[in-house]
Amino acid sequence: MTQRAIVLVDVNNFYVSCERVFNPQLEGRPVIVLSNNDGCAISRSQEAKALGVRMAQPWFQMRDLAEQHGIAVHSSNYALYADMSNRVMSLLAELGREQEIYSIDECFLNLTGMHSLDLEPHARHIRQTIRQWTGLPTCVGVGATKTLAKLANHIAKQNPDCNGVCNLNAMPLAAQEEYFSQIPAAHVWGIGRRLAPKLEALGILTVRDLQLADAALLRKRFSITMEKTARELNGIACLEFEDFAAPRQQILSSRSFGYYVTDKHQLHEAVTEYTTRAAEKLRRQSSLAGSLQLHIRTSPHNPDGKHYYPSRLVPLPQATDDTLSLVKAALYGLECIYRPGFSYQKAGVVLAELRPKTSVQTSLFPSRDEKRHQLMATIDEVNGRMGRATLRSAGEGFDKPWKMRSAHKSNNFTTRWNELLVVNA
């Protein structure tokens, strides 16, 4: 029987690595990327980690450290990161029989059928190809199951002797057991810090302990998911490839404002923009929304002590993916819950009661629906080719003083013509 060969490719410190591609002077320097509104660290270079910068550490806590050690600080540039991710995933699609995109920087490939002696050279070819064509560094893990592939990737990252590739399929059993005995169970895919203490109470401290545990008992004490994890660690495939990501059951578009908002007109602009983004996601998965929920909120740390967290559910007369109809519903919800005299910090829109576009009965007025459908398709096509919000509703505003803070944002090097990298000969 042919041994399964599952590969997990993971881009190292993805956001930081994207910034380094377009600014080589960042190589070898400590670099961090901050979350929305420059709140906290969400990506750190190895040099920054060595200086003690923690994941999710607030920016205000590390300003002095950044100045002392010359840490390069960048605001999140999601348009750049998404485009670089698409480039990586497109390349990986050509390098395996099956592909499952797990996250923006991780991807499973199925290489079953390839001889075990050929797996490591092919894994190194994958690393070299991604590095050559995108400039991004990766680590590659190979295992008989998806859980083992994730674990192999972890080993490749933590051990410089692996040179970025760990192939558990070719590793002697004794060497595997030695690795597994040293890695805490919390590092296993799906365990994490929440479940690790419960496993420790049963004497399961390491990956090896979990591998040797009674799978049926784990199912009884925890869940079928825990049982599958234990079986996967023993090379029994329980998690199959997903050819297509399941459509979302809800779509959320929510952001904190860069500054407290007291002006109702600015709230209108923010709600219009967030609803527009949610509608674009809705159309991408070919779904329609049957209801919309709007929420606004003040900061829990508001200095004036006045707190207000209202929300409004707006049923839609007909399920739709039309931006203008959804914006109209969202603004109606805002009218219902807005109260003057508060400093608002955040707004958000949730599209719910989602259903496939093909399963909804058509309107009695198809001509009007068809024109609106064509309008949305045209807007999506133009924005897809020329960049987000090239065509947009005037209701989204222009100056947008409420926009998120991003004082350290790099250019959109790959998605805006006027921000392309310029090289002088």
Q: Provide mean pLDDT across the span 19-34.
A: 94
Predicted local distance difference test score (pLDDT) of residue 387: 73
pLDDT category at 399 given cuts 50, 70, 90 is confident
The reply to whether 337 and 362 lie within a common domain is yes
pLDDT category at 29 given cuts 50, 70, 90 is very high
The reply to whether 87 and 227 lie within a common domain is yes
Domain contains 407: no
In 3D space, the residue among 161, 169, 93, 100 whose CA is nearest the CA of residue 126 turns out to be 93
* Residue 129 pLDDT exceeds 90: yes
Q: Provide mean pLDDT across the span 113-131.
A: 86
What burial letters (b/e) apply to 17-27, b meaning 16+ CB within 10 Å? bbbbbbbeebe
* 357, 289 contact by CB (below 8 A): no
pLDDT category at 370 given cuts 50, 70, 90 is confident
Domain contains 409: no
CATH code at 201? 3.30.70.270
pLDDT category at 366 given cuts 50, 70, 90 is low
The amino acid occupying position 63 is R
pLDDT category at 335 given cuts 50, 70, 90 is very high
211-220 long-range Cβ contacts below 8 angstroms, 24+ apart: 211/180
CATH code at 25? 3.40.1170.60
The sign of the torsion formed by the CA atoms of 292, 297, 300, 306 equals negative
Predicted local distance difference test score (pLDDT) of residue 313: 93
pLDDT category at 247 given cuts 50, 70, 90 is low
Domain contains 424: no
The reply to whether 26 and 87 lie within a common domain is no
378: enclosing H helix or E strand: helix 366-386
CATH code at 384? 3.30.1490.100
Q: Kindly state the DSSP code that residue 308 receives in the 8-state scheme.
A: -
Of 170, 200, 233, which one is at a domain's C-terminal end?
Answer: 233
The total number of structural domains that make up the chain: 3
Q: Provide mean pLDDT across the span 368-381.
A: 81
The reply to whether 93 and 199 lie within a common domain is yes
In 3D space, the residue among 155, 131, 161, 160 whose CA is nearest the CA of residue 141 turns out to be 155
Domain contains 425: no
Please give the structure tokens belonging to residue 178. 């030695």
* Residue 338 pLDDT exceeds 70: yes
The reply to whether 49 and 88 lie within a common domain is no
Predicted local distance difference test score (pLDDT) of residue 248: 73
CA–CA separation, 111 and 96 (whole Å) = 6
The highest-confidence range among 42-46, 196-200, 383-387, by mean pLDDT, is 42-46
The reply to whether 286 and 308 lie within a common domain is yes
Domain contains 245: no
For the chain, percent of residues with pLDDT exceeding 70: 94
Give 298-312 pLDDT, tens digit per residue: 987 776 678 899 999
Of 182, 199, 233, which one is at a domain's C-terminal end?
Answer: 233
The reply to whether 72 and 96 lie within a common domain is no
Of 177, 199, 233, which one is at a domain's C-terminal end?
Answer: 233
The reply to whether 207 and 317 lie within a common domain is no
* 148, 229 contact by CB (below 8 A): no
Domain contains 225: yes
Among 19-23, 176-180, 248-252, 412-416, whose mean pLDDT is lowest?
412-416
User: Can you give the residue range of the structural domain that contains 35?
Assistant: 14-79
Among 44-48, 50-54, 111-115, 265-269, whose mean pLDDT is lowest?
111-115
The reply to whether 115 and 151 lie within a common domain is yes
Domain contains 283: yes
CA–CA separation, 54 and 266 (whole Å) = 35
Domain contains 403: no
Burial of 270 (0-12, 13-18, 19+ CB in 10 A): buried
CA–CA separation, 263 and 347 (whole Å) = 13
The reply to whether 35 and 48 lie within a common domain is yes
When the pLDDT of each residue in the chain is averaged and rounded to a whole number, the result is 88
Q: Kindly state the DSSP code that residue 248 receives in the 8-state scheme.
A: P
The reply to whether 54 and 185 lie within a common domain is no
Predicted local distance difference test score (pLDDT) of residue 384: 80
Among 24-28, 50-54, 141-145, 248-252, whose mean pLDDT is lowest?
248-252
Please give the structure tokens belonging to residue 212. 């040797």
The highest-confidence range among 8-22, 243-257, 369-383, by mean pLDDT, is 8-22
pLDDT category at 359 given cuts 50, 70, 90 is low
The reply to whether 152 and 90 lie within a common domain is yes
